[in-house]
Amino acid sequence: MAHDRKNDKHLTILSPAKVNLFLKVLSKRPDGYHNIVSIVDLISLYDVISFEESKNDEIIIKDDKGILPDGDANTIYRAIIMLRDRCDIQRGVKVFVEKHIPVGGGLGGPSSNAAAALNGLVKFWDIKIEVHELFDIGKRIGADVPLFIYGKPCVMRGIGEEIAPIELPLFWYVIVYPDVMISTKAVYEGLKIVLTKKENDIRLLQHFYSVRDVAGLLENDLETVAIPMCPKIKEIKDRMIQAGAIGALMSGSGSSVFGVFESEDDAKRASLNLEGMGSIFIVHSVK
């Protein structure tokens, strides 16, 4: 990921959020996961993660808001343990996370943090490891982790572990997080899958030549479950369109909603009409 700062004893790395411009759930697998196809754009909303050496092999993870879980429930911790095991390393690290990505908002914070830990520690510890090995570690942590290791706009397939590059124009987004956490597990469990031909589900995926191309393709199957759980999602979508967005959609399993805009000025003007709806972020694509 871009904008790393490193010296021999310290490394700081940015951990970006994501939005799903398109998310179609194709089927449920025997293992309980779901096969999907999704277009993902990385955005300029970052957690900032710093690494320092620690004594012995101790792993210490802290954040500025005191919201990250301990132990195996923490994706950063799992990433460190798995990377050490894979590379037979017995080193400790102190990790500090400056949190900006909302928790439970469908913006991929935990997966991005895990990927940042893997990418960051490969540099910090000067580890020789192939990218496909990092992908293998990442997908054992979470389905979205490989896309953040990849670090560019992509089409995700399978449960998210199949990554293919896609060219996207620069998008400006206004993101509203309604300050409501939604359980990804609960959303998927409540989903009724409508079987359609896969060819239709991934129509025109390579045809984002302009910002306006995205408007007709914005789609997220998970909205049908998430909106009854959090009706404010629909309110924000409607307000976003009224404010001038080319299109608006819930990201991932919610609860964040993003609007797509052609310019920073358009996004800033729209954000003024969204005050009071939740936490507001004006961001752009990360190239």
Residues taking part in catalysis: 18, 144
Residues 6 or more apart whose CB falls under 8 angstroms from that of 115 comprise: 1, 15, 79, 138, 145, 146, 147, 148, 149, 151
Q: How far apart are CA 203 and CA 222, in angstroms?
A: 19
Is beta strand 10-28 parallel, antiparallel or unpaired with respect to 34-54?
Answer: antiparallel
Q: Taking Cα atoms as reference points, which of 100, 49, 111 lies closest to residue 78?
A: 111
Report the sign of the C-alpha dihedral through residues 287, 211, 207, 35, in that order.
positive
Q: How far apart are CA 265 and CA 50, in angstroms?
A: 32
Going along 29-64, which residue ranges are E strands? 34-54, 59-63
Per-residue b/e over 110-147, b at no fewer than 16 CB within 10 Å?
A: bbbbbbbbbbbbbebbebeeeeeebbebbbebbbbbbb
Residue with tokens 């896309």: 147
Q: Are 221 and 201 in contact (CB under 8 A)?
A: no
Q: Are 61 and 76 in contact (CB under 8 A)?
A: yes
Is beta strand 10-28 parallel, antiparallel or unpaired with respect to 219-220?
Answer: parallel
Distances (CA, A) of 233 to 5, 131, 178: 37, 37, 8
Residues 6 or more apart whose CB falls under 8 angstroms from that of 239 comprise: 273, 274, 277
Beta bridge partners of 36: 25, 158
